[in-house]
Structure 1
Amino acid sequence: MARSIWRTVHGPIARRGASPQNIISPRNLCLPLLPAAFLIKPGSLVRDQVGNILDARSSSTLIISDVKIVVDTGLCGEGKLIREGVAKWGLCPEDIDLVVNTHGHEDHTGNNHLFVSARTLGPGERREGHRIAEGVWIMETPGHTLDSVSVVCQSERTVIVAGDALPTKNNFSKRVPPRLHVDRDLAIRSMERIIETAEIVIPGHDRPFALDGGSHPSSLE
C-alpha cells in the first residue's frame, strides 16, 4: 500500500480481488489513497466481414493520484460522453491536470480541448519509465505507431492503459499484434511487455480485462 492516507473516492480503485467490471461500477468507497484507475468509457471497434474498420472509438481512462490524469480522450463528437464519464467520478473536465494520448490518432485525441486546465504530455516526456504522478509512469510501446506509449498505474494490482499497443482482448487471446501497425516486430514485443507486466489491461478498443499470471485472461467476476 503506497500510503496510509484515507479519503472517500467516487468509484472503486483497481485493487486486489477486484474484477474488471468493478472498475466501471461507480459507488462511494472509503479507500486508501493510491493511484487509482477509473474507466470514463470503454473503447469499441467495428469491422466489416473482410476486416475493414467501419468505426473505431478509443477507451478513455481517468487516473487519480497526486495528479488527475485522463488517458485518451476519444473521438471528436464524443464530448458529451466524455463529460458524463468524468462526472460519474465526481469531477468535471476543468479538474483534470494532465492529458496523455497513447498516440496521435484522432480517435484518441478528439476531445483534448475539453480539458482546458490540463496540459498535454509533451514529446520529451513520452519516454520509458517517466513518472507522471505518484505510482504512475510511461511505458514505451511502439509498433502501432512509432511513438505509441502505454500508462502504467501501480495500484495494488498493476493496471496498464494500453492504447492500441493492445487494442482488444482478442489480440491478447490470439497473441496477434494490432492489424494496423508500422512495425510488426515492435508491435509484438510491445504487446508481450504489456502482458508480462499488467494484471489488468485497459485496451484501446475494448473493455478492461484481467490477466491470470500474466499469460491467460481471467474473469474475476
Structure 2
Amino acid sequence: MDGDTGAGAALSGLRVDRVSAHVHFAHTEHVNWVVYSGPDGVTLVDSGYVGQQGLLEASLAQVGVKPDDVDVVLITHGHADHLGGAAWLAEHFGTTVHAHPRELANVHREVFEQVGTGQVLRNGWRPGVAPWALAIVPLLDGRADLGVPSATEPPVRDGRIDVPGRPRMRLVDGHTSGHAVFEFEGEGVLVVGDAFVTGHRTSPLQGPQLLPSMFHRDAARVATSLDGIASSEARVVLPGHGEAWFGPAYAAVDAAVDAGSAW
C-alpha cells in the first residue's frame, strides 16, 4: 500500500510492505511474518524458519528497528516455519514469546502437531510437494523440532493482549489444537497464520484457500473454525503463506471456504 519504510523493497527473496500506519507484512517465498512498530513498541507475529534469521533481521531493519527492539513475539501456531525466529530472539535477547494457551504444548515441543516425513513421502507424487520439501530442508537447519520452552500465555486486559498494538486473539483451531489469529483493530489488520492462506508451493490454487490436508491436525475442523473470524471488520488480511488480501475479512473467509484445499 504505502511506499514508506521500505515497502515493496526486495532483498534476497524478502519483500516488506507497509499495510497500515504501523503494520508491516514481511513476505518470503516460503512463509510470511508481521511486524507491528508503533509508539508503544514492537510486536512480531510469527517469525519464519530458523534458517531465515538473516531475512528476519533484514525485515526488521527495513521497518527501522533492531532485533533487540522487539518487545514480544506472538505465535499463531507452533510449526517450524513460524517458530524459528522466535526461538532465536528468545535465546539471544530474552524476548518474550506468547501463544494461545491451547498451543503452548506445541510451541514448547511437548507435542508435535506438524506434518511428518512419512506424510510428505506418501504425498510426494503430488505436483509441488517434492520441490517444496527439498526447498525447506536447508531452512530447517536440522532443527525441525526446535521450540520455544519459555513461551507463555499472553496477558489479556479488556479483551486485548497487553502488548504493543494491543491485538485481539481468537482461537481458530483445526490446523493445530491452539491455532490463533491476531486482530490489530486500530490498524484494520487481521493476521491469520495458516487458518487459511492465499497461496502455497504445494497447491495450484490461487487466492484464499485452505492448506492441503496433510498439514492439518484436524482437516475437517479447519473450515468450520473460520466462522470465528467471519465477523471481523478488518480490511487487510495477512496469511502465513501467499500475498496479502485487501478487502473485507468475511469475503476472504468465504473465498477460502468455497475454494477448500487442493487435496
Provide closer, same or farther for how the CA distance between residues 61 and 216 of structure 1 changes in structure 2, counting only shifts above 3 A: closer
Work out whether residues 167 and 205 of structure 1, in 8 Å CA contact, stay in contact via their aligned partners in 2: yes
Q: Please state whether the residue corresponding to 2:23 is helix, strand or coil.
A: strand
Aligned residues: 177
Aligned match of 2:37: 64
TM-score (norm 2): 0.57
Q: Deviations over 1:154-190 (max 9, x none)?
A: 135x21111111122558645x465321223431133
Structure 2: which 5+ runs fail to align? 8-15, 99-150, 200-204, 254-263
After superposing the two structures, state which structure 1 stretch, 165-174 or 88-97, moved more.
165-174
Is 1:201–2:237 an aligned residue pair? Answer: yes
Aligned match of 1:147: 178
After superposing the two structures, state which structure 1 stretch, 133-142 or 78-87, moved more.
133-142
Provide closer, same or farther for how the CA distance between residues 190 and 178 of structure 1 changes in structure 2, counting only shifts above 3 A: farther
Aligned match of 1:120: 97
* Alignment RMSD (CA, Å): 3.2
Work out whether residues 58 and 107 of structure 1, in 8 Å CA contact, stay in contact via their aligned partners in 2: yes
Is 1:191–2:226 an aligned residue pair? Answer: yes
Letter in 2 for 1:159: V
Work out whether residues 60 and 74 of structure 1, in 8 Å CA contact, stay in contact via their aligned partners in 2: yes
**Residue 216 of structure 2 is aligned with which of 153, 164, 181?**
181
CA distance in 1, matches of 2:55, 2:206: 26
Work out whether residues 166 and 177 of structure 1, in 8 Å CA contact, stay in contact via their aligned partners in 2: yes
Work out whether residues 44 and 73 of structure 2, in 8 Å CA contact, stay in contact via their aligned partners in 1: yes
Displacement of 1:124: 2.9
After superposing the two structures, state which structure 1 stretch, 86-95 or 129-138, moved more.
129-138
**Residue 166 of structure 1 is aligned with which of 196, 202, 214?**
196
Letter in 2 for 1:70: L
Q: Percent identity?
A: 24
Provide closer, same or farther for how the CA distance between residues 213 and 98 of structure 1 changes in structure 2, counting only shifts above 3 A: closer
Work out whether residues 171 and 179 of structure 2, in 8 Å CA contact, stay in contact via their aligned partners in 1: yes
Q: Deviations over 1:114-163 (max 9, x none)?
A: 36142111443398x4423344121111110011111111135x211111
